[in-house]
């Protein structure tokens, strides 16, 4: 079964609204979580790395104020797309790394992604 | 620098044909992991295999096989007797022991299996 739960799987909203995406590790403590963005027919682009209890590290070119990341606990990280516009429409995927029964096979586990559409 | 190259952007094969997806990586680290993921149209990443840098044994799992060659920094993936359900985008990725390190993904190969 899934070890990382990402919610919602799909969201459609109007331009100007803020959207929050949650990423939860279900059976392990995720010391580090990653947020990726994927454009159609493109690879996954790392947006930021978040460590529990500290500020996220953003990749070059990613707007910190646009994409707010919070990693308040060892099982939850959130990505908030603030004042979303059509160009923010994309597929967002989180991954979590940490200790636990599932760690031995994969150092990271991926959520199923969130398809965000801004009208 | 860490880099993964998947030179094949799109591949089409007829059902039951064999197909090999290429992956070439670059890293100066001596300890690393290599992965293959499948991304069907629904979007989720499906883990296929992990290989660590010290294990060059080839692996076979059903119709899937992987050829890891450190001498050429390649980790190629072969699907034997392809099926329509194999149609997806396949990503090769480079990762490291420390869970705090990101994955480096290739650009993906879109495979279409024609019935």
Do the Cβ atoms of B103 and A41 come within 8 Å?
A: no
Q: pLDDT of A24-59, one tens digit each?
A: 998 888 888 999 999 988 899 999 999 888 889 999
Chain center to CA of A36 = 6
Distance CA B110, CA A102 (A): 28
Q: Are A102 and A3 in contact (CB under 8 A)?
A: yes
What pLDDT is stored for residue A32 in this prediction? 87
The residue among B29, B45, B89, B94 with the most chain A CBs within 10 A of its CB, best to mutate, is B45
Average pLDDT in the A109-118 region?
94
3-state SS, residue A68: strand
Model confidence at A101, in pLDDT bands (50, 70, 90)? very low
Whether A70 contacts chain B with CB within 8 A:
no
Spell out which residues of chain A touch residue B91, defining contact as CB-CB under 8 Å: 43-44
Task: Count helices and strands (H / E) in chain B.
Answer: 0, 12
Closest CA to B6 of B107, B79, B94: B107
B108 in contact with chain A, both atoms CB, cutoff 8 A: yes
Query: Looking at the complex, does the CB of residue B107 fall below 8 Å from at least one CB of chain A?
Result: yes
Is residue B46 very low, low, confident or very high in pLDDT (cuts 50, 70, 90)?
very high
């Amino acid at each position: 079964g899934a070890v990382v739960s990402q919610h919602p799987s799909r969201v459609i909203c109007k331009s100007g609204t803020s959207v929050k995406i949650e990423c939860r590790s279900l059976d392990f403590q995720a010391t580090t979580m990653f947020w990726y963005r994927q454009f159609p027919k493109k690879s996954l682009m790392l947006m930021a790395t978040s460590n529990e209890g500290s500020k996220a590290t953003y990749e070059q070119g990613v707007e910190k104020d646009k994409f707010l990341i919070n990693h308040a606990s060892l099982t939850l990280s959130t990505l908030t797309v603030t004042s979303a516009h059509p160009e923010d429409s994309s597929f967002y995927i989180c991954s979590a790394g940490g200790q636990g029964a599932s760690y031995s096979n994969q150092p990271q586990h991926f959520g199923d992604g969130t398809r965000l559409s801004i009208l | 620098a860490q880099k993964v190259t998947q030179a094949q952007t799109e591949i089409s094969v007829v059902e039951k044909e064999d197909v090999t997806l290429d992956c070439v990586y670059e890293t100066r680290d001596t300890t690393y992991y290599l992965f293959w993921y499948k991304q069907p149209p629904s979007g989720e990443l499906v883990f296929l295999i992990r290989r660590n840098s010290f294990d060059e044994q080839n692996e076979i799992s059903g119709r899937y096989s992987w050829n890891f060659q450190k001498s050429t920094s390649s980790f190629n993936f072969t699907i034997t007797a392809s099926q329509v359900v194999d149609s997806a985008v396949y990503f090769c990725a480079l990762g490291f022991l420390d869970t705090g390190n990101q994955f480096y993904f290739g650009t993906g190969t879109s495979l279409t299996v024609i019935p």
